[in-house]
C-alpha cells in the first residue's frame, strides 16, 4: 500500500502539508476513479516567506498565489499520476468544506467556520490531489478540538458581532472594517480566527492575513 509519507516528502520543500485525506464514496463528489483524495494546506511557520519569494509573486500578473498553487500542486499531482483540484475551480466549485470534514481533521466550529486540528480557524486549502490508488491512511477519531476548548473564545471575539454562533453577517463585517477600529482586523486578520488557541499556535504571519483581508475587503 502507498502511504502519505511520500507525498509529505514532495510537499514539504514547498511549505505545503497534508491537511487531510480520505477514501471517497459516491456522495463525496470527487472525480471518477479516485481512490484517495489528499487535501493540502500551508505548512507553518514558513509558508508566507516562501510563497512571496516565488516568481508568480513578482511577475505582476494577477492571482499569484493561485498560480503558484497550480504550478506546484499540479506538478506533484502529475508525478504521482493523479489530478490536481483547486478551490478556485468552477463554477461548479469542488466541495472543499465537505472534503475537509470527511477527512476527520476539520470540523464545524461554534461560529460555523471550519476549524482544523492543526491550523485552527486559520485553516485554508491550497488544493487537493485525486489519486487512483487507495493509500494507507491513519485512523482518526471524528472528535472536534472545539469539544475540549476552554471558554470557546471565538464566540465572543468579533468586535462587530458579525460572526457568532448565529452565523455570519457579511454586511456588518464590511461596515466595521471601514471604521478606524476595523484596522486591526485588516492588518492582523479576523479577530475570531485569531482568538482560536489552535490558530495562535499555528505560526501564520500577520502579513499573510493582511494580504487576504485586503482581497476580501476591496
pLDDT 10s digits, 39-75: 999 999 999 999 999 999 999 999 999 999 999 999 9
Q: Give the integer Cα–Cα distance in Å for 100 and 107.
A: 8
Identify the band that residue 110 occupies on the pLDDT scale cut at 50, 70 and 90.
very high
Identify the band that residue 14 occupies on the pLDDT scale cut at 50, 70 and 90.
very high
Helices of type H across 30-164: 47-51, 55-58, 64-80, 96-102
pLDDT 10s digits, 77-105: 999 999 999 999 999 999 999 999 999 99
pLDDT of residue 1 exceeding 70, the answer is no
Q: Give the integer Cα–Cα distance in Å for 183 and 19.
A: 30
> Which residue from 13, 30, 32 is spatially nearest to 22, judged by alpha carbons?
30
> Which residue from 13, 8, 20 is spatially nearest to 118, judged by alpha carbons?
20
Helices of type H across the chain: 5-11, 47-51, 55-58, 64-80, 96-102, 170-177, 183-188, 191-195, 197-202, 206-216
Three cell numbers, residue 43: 505548512
CA 51 centroid distance within chain = 15
Amino acid at each position: 500500500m502507498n502511504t502519505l509519507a511520500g507525498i509529505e516528502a514532495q510537499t514539504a520543500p514547498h511549505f505545503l502539508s497534508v491537511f487531510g485525506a480520505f477514501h471517497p464514496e459516491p456522495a463525496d463528489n470527487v472525480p471518477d476513479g479516485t481512490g484517495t483524495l489528499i487535501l493540502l494546506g500551508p505548512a507553518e511557520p514558513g509558508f508566507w516567506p516562501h510563497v512571496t519569494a516565488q516568481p508568480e509573486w513578482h511577475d505582476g500578473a494577477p492571482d499569484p498565489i493561485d498560480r503558484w498553487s497550480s504550478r506546484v500542486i499540479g506538478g506533484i499531482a502529475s508525478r504521482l499520476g493523479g489530478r490536481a483540484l483547486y478551490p478556485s475551480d468552477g463554477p461548479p466549485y469542488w466541495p472543499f468544506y465537505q472534503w475537509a470534514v470527511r477527512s476527520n481533521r476539520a470540523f464545524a466550529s461554534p461560529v460555523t467556520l471550519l476549524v482544523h486540528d492543526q491550523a485552527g480557524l486559520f485553516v485554508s486549502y491550497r488544493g487537493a490531489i485525486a489519486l487512483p490508488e487507495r493509500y494507507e491512511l491513519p485512523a482518526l477519531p471524528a472528535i472536534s478540538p472545539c469539544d475540549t476548548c476552554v471558554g470557546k473564545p471565538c464566540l465572543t471575539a468579533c468586535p462587530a458581532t458579525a460572526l457568532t454562533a448565529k452565523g455570519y453577517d457579511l454586511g456588518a463585517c464590511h461596515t466595521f472594517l471601514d471604521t478606524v477600529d476595523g484596522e486591526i482586523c485588516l492588518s492582523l486578520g479576523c479577530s475570531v480566527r485569531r482568538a482560536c488557541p489552535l490558530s495562535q499556535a499555528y505560526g501564520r504571519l500577520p502579513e499573510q492575513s493582511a494580504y487576504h483581508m485586503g482581497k476580501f475587503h476591496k
